[in-house]
A = this chain, B = another copy of it.
């Protein structure tokens, strides 16, 4: 739904005048995600009033849907006891851990202490300990599991029993007496099975799973490759620890892709247009300063050719062209490598093949651009032949050089476990600018030296 200012104003008026009846009518049937959107747009006071108008289980769903930054502030107004009760009754362990992870340690301990069910409290504490970028950080402890040795009646009772408290159940997990994952039983199979068929017949024993320490990228790749909606998580002994559902992974996939985009744009944090000026400046200034120092280095490089520029000021005309082409060609080839690494599609080995391929592409692109420059200067420009030759030769050199560098820099970063996406950001682009300038002026000195 679209949240109009009028609707928000209406909600706000209802809250302030205590007109709960009109309020209920307006928000009836709204999805928790929509209610979360409304709360985020209301004044803090009103958001709290609205939250307390909601039924407990709905309020819990809204809590998990709230934007993290908003939630962190919002929870300052809610007692630890109240949050603990929500965790006990209505919130899955993974969401509870996510909510706690954003709060100060002191507050975390307070809330955990208020949870009556000690097993749940220790489950949540367990989850908090996993790296938030690992499978353990994504998984929920809640799942439906049955023992392979149970009889039919026990199995059905257990499934009904366990499934009651879990929001989304697609699959039942089958374990042995040591709690090791032995198979899965999709709900569809259970529904389709004739009453006479032993359940052991319909268990699928080829199960895709991940280790609890796998990276979230690995989790996302696995679920995407095998088209899964839920993925079991095991420890080193194949003991079943939890499961990851696709909704959490969709967010991971999107965040990963957005992170690369932001790095490329020179944003050092995940920012949104609605963030404050201070946050937006903090995300942008660092990369501007990187560009600034690159530019100062570029100035030093050009400064060494002051005499040439005084003699042939027309050489300066093409400085932005050379710098931009180096940057552009480098980012293009880096971006292809970065996406290949991210998707896991990139073939390993055969570095020479990669080198020759980039060399060929760089040469083709370089020669086409050089040709355009030569044609332009022959037909439209009053500049000298030396300049045309310098610019076009530099064009080939710069494009080839930055294409090849653009391929190998992300590969190298990746080898040293640095995020390869850095290669498409301002840092490397700036470096390519400088290399381009060096090539251009060296070639220029040579050309003018030869021909004059």
Stretch at the interface among A17-25, A50-58, A123-131, A301-309: A301-309
CB-based contact A320/B317 at 8 Å: no
Cβ contacts under 8 Å, A192 to chain B: 160, 163-164
Cβ contacts under 8 Å, A251 to chain B: 224
Contacts A273-B340, A335-B265, A373-B292; A168 near B229 (Cβ below 8 A): yes
CB-based contact B246/A376 at 8 Å: no
A328 at the interface (CB under 8 A from B): yes
CB-based contact A325/B291 at 8 Å: yes
A287 at the interface (CB under 8 A from B): yes
Report the bound CA distance from A289 to B251 in whole Å: 36
Binary flags per residue of A36-79, CB closer than 8 Å to B gives 1, else 0: 00000000000000000000000000000000000000000000
Most B CB contacts (10 A, CB to CB) among A227, A264, A294 go to A227
A331 at the interface (CB under 8 A from B): yes
A346 at the interface (CB under 8 A from B): yes
CB-based contact A369/B281 at 8 Å: no
Q: Kindly identify which residue among B253, B285, B320 contacts A302, using a CB–CB cutoff of 8 Å.
A: B320
CB-based contact B321/A295 at 8 Å: yes
Contacts A159-B191, A291-B325, A325-B291; A273 near B336 (Cβ below 8 A): yes
Report the bound CA distance from A229 to B186 in whole Å: 15
Contacts A191-B163, A267-B332; A299 near B284 (Cβ below 8 A): no
A258 at the interface (CB under 8 A from B): yes
Cβ contacts under 8 Å, A229 to chain B: 168, 170, 229, 246-247
CB-based contact B324/A294 at 8 Å: yes
- Least CB distance, A31 to chain B, in whole angstroms: 6
A197 at the interface (CB under 8 A from B): no
Most B CB contacts (10 A, CB to CB) among A169, A254, A316, A372 go to A316
CB-based contact B316/A302 at 8 Å: yes
Interface residues in A276-316 by Cβ distance below 8 A to B read: 277, 280-281, 284-285, 287-289, 291-292, 294-296, 298-300, 302-303, 306, 309-310, 313-314, 316
CB-based contact B288/A369 at 8 Å: yes
Interface residues in A88-109 by Cβ distance below 8 A to B read: none
The contact sample of 30 A-B pairs, CB cut-off 8 A, is: A31-B206, A160-B192, A168-B188, A170-B170, A170-B229, A227-B247, A246-B250, A257-B258, A258-B339, A261-B261, A261-B335, A266-B328, A267-B336, A272-B339, A272-B340, A274-B340, A281-B361, A284-B332, A287-B332, A288-B368, A291-B325, A292-B373, A296-B376, A299-B320, A302-B317, A313-B313, A316-B319, A319-B319, A323-B323, A328-B426
A interface list, Cβ under 8 A from B: 29, 31, 33, 159-160, 163-164, 168-170, 187-188, 190-192, 206, 208, 223-227, 229, 246-247, 249-251, 253-254, 257-258, 260-262, 264-267, 271-274, 277, 280-281, 284-285, 287-289, 291-292, 294-296, 298-300, 302-303, 306, 309-310, 313-314, 316-325, 327-329, 331-337, 339-340, 345-347, 354, 357, 360-361, 364-365, 368-369, 372-373, 376, 399, 424, 426, 429-430, 433, 437
Extra 18 A-B pairs, beta carbons < 8 Å, given A298-B321, A303-B314, A320-B433: A29-B206, A31-B206, A31-B226, A160-B192, A168-B229, A224-B247, A253-B257, A257-B261, A260-B261, A262-B335, A262-B339, A273-B336, A285-B364, A288-B365, A296-B321, A310-B313, A316-B319, A324-B430
